[in-house]
A and B are shown apart, each in its own frame.
Chain A
Amino acid sequence: MNCGEGIDTRQIDELFINLDPIQAGGRLTTDAMKAVLAYGDGYSVCDHCTKPFRLDHISKPPLAEFHRDLASFLNMDVARLVPGARRGFQAVASALVKPGDPVLLTAYSHYTEFLSVEQSRGMAFEIPANDSHIITPDGAAARIEEVSKTTGKTPALMFIEQVDYQYGNQHPVSDLIKVAHQYDIPVLCNGAYTIGIMDVNGKELGADFLVGSGHKSMAAPAPSGVLATTSEWAETVFRTTGIKGDLTGRTFGVKEVEMMGCTLMGVTSVGMMASFPHVKRRVKEFDAQVQYVNRIVDALLTIEGTKVQSEYPRKHTLTRMNTTDSFDTVARTHKKKGFFLTSALRERGIAGILAGSTRVWKFNSYGITSEQADYIAESFIEIAEKEGLACSR
């Protein structure tokens, strides 16, 4: 069934339990799907845009209120919608990093954080992780000292991930920020895997900038996200235009330079806004989601040779497994080779794990029910037993 010429109708989330590491938290709520139907046209939020002609001032649909609510939800002073977390990184780097400035990232920073530094012509320095795949305050302090000494400059900015994309581990953000602040380094906390899924309190963390992803963790269409900051930094990162056309003398009102004016002018902002009441409720229910993922990991660990590479017990639903000594031993002789696992899962209505993976792979169980958690756990064991792997349940 097509939804346009040559465009197949996507039905993954209607037919399968979707464990895709990057898709789970961005699955739309029914209200967001309704918003998509009503606001799919291009500049659909601009019907009632009046002076000063800026997205965060539009009151119908209630975007102005949504911006205020977002800031309050994150316990920050000011928030703006951005086209994905990456555009939040870009805005902050553009405002704070000058050519040649050292910038700290971590061993688990997303590539777009690096690109934002590169675009600002800064120099990237990574804080290493420890053996448990955690970024530690001691590691950060040592790297700050070293970088300051070798470059002769204090880093202009530090990026840290609250939960990283590689292991889904939670890092001690509050303590890392304390260390950075001792050196007067502003900190951007990347909450792409947390904001909209877990309770995130920016002031409690001490973050100067909080960046979240709408399409990754706030049940919103892509590209969407949020950049929130404190009143101390708002004027810097949300500076308004001062440029003037030399021939026409045109000026551009209160458009914000780093935002490139208005950001999400249609379905993305309204989709995000439609999901927001649900998002506010669901962050309070994260503990149940953690229980479910641990149930799945516990089941996987009963399969001999299986290891969990993420911190365990799990504190987040994004999880990295190593099944080199279990499922991969089957793949070596199976007629479907490495594809046997994802194929067997698909037969059971489970999708989202990278096709062909039997060594190191990730899944994200966010958004499932207790019954679905049991079903996934049972499915893994059933597949293992069918293929002759020893299970200790």
Chain B
Amino acid sequence: MSKRSVDAVFQGLYLLTDIRGMLRDTVPHHHLSVEQKKEAEKILGKLEKQVAILKEELLA
């Protein structure tokens, strides 16, 4: 059992959900404010980490 990969899947889904929330908040044009862009950048960075964990756990 790879608890680490399961956690990474959920963390990844939650981070994507935060992006989804951001898209909802900014309809219809999705013009992100400076703060929102910073937040999106942070979320995407974290998402990349979760994807890296999954590659490490499942593909190594």
Task: Give A contacts to B, CB under 8 Å.
Answer: 13-18, 27, 29-30, 33-34, 37-38, 348-350, 369, 372
**What is the CA–CA distance of A34 and B19 in the complex, to the nearest angstrom?**
12
B24 adjacent to A27 (CB under 8 Å): yes
Q: Mark B13-46, 1 if CB is under 8 A from A, else 0.
A: 1100110110111011100000000000000000
Q: Between A and B, how many residue pairs show CB distances below 8 Å?
A: 37
Could you tell me the distance in whole angstroms from the C-beta of A374 to the nearest C-beta in chain B?
13
Find chain A residues with CB under 8 A from B27 CB. Answer: 13-18, 349, 372
Find chain A residues with CB under 8 A from B24 CB. Answer: 13-14, 27
**What is the CA–CA distance of A64 and B23 in the complex, to the nearest angstrom?**
34
Find chain A residues with CB under 8 A from B17 CB. Answer: 30, 33-34, 37
B29 adjacent to A349 (CB under 8 Å): yes
Task: Give B contacts to A, CB under 8 Å.
Answer: 10, 13-14, 17-18, 20-21, 23-25, 27-29
Q: What are the 9 A-B residue pairs with the smallest beta carbon separation, nearest first? A: A349-B28, A30-B21, A14-B23, A33-B17, A34-B14, A37-B13, A13-B24, A34-B17, A17-B27
Tell me the nearest residue of chain A to B22, going by C-beta: A30
Tell me the nearest residue of chain B to A379, going by C-beta: B28
**What is the CA–CA distance of A34 and B24 in the complex, to the nearest angstrom?**
15
B10 adjacent to A37 (CB under 8 Å): yes
Known A13-B27, A349-B28; judge A30-B10 contact (CB<8 A).
Answer: no
Could you tell me the distance in whole angstroms from the C-beta of A112 to the nearest C-beta in chain B?
29
Tell me the nearest residue of chain B to A349, going by C-beta: B28
Tell me the nearest residue of chain A to B29, going by C-beta: A349
Find chain A residues with CB under 8 A from B20 CB. Answer: 14, 30, 33
Q: Given known contacts A13-B27, A37-B13, A350-B28, what 8 new A-B pairs fall within 8 Å (CB)?
A: A14-B20, A29-B21, A33-B17, A34-B17, A37-B14, A348-B28, A349-B28, A372-B27
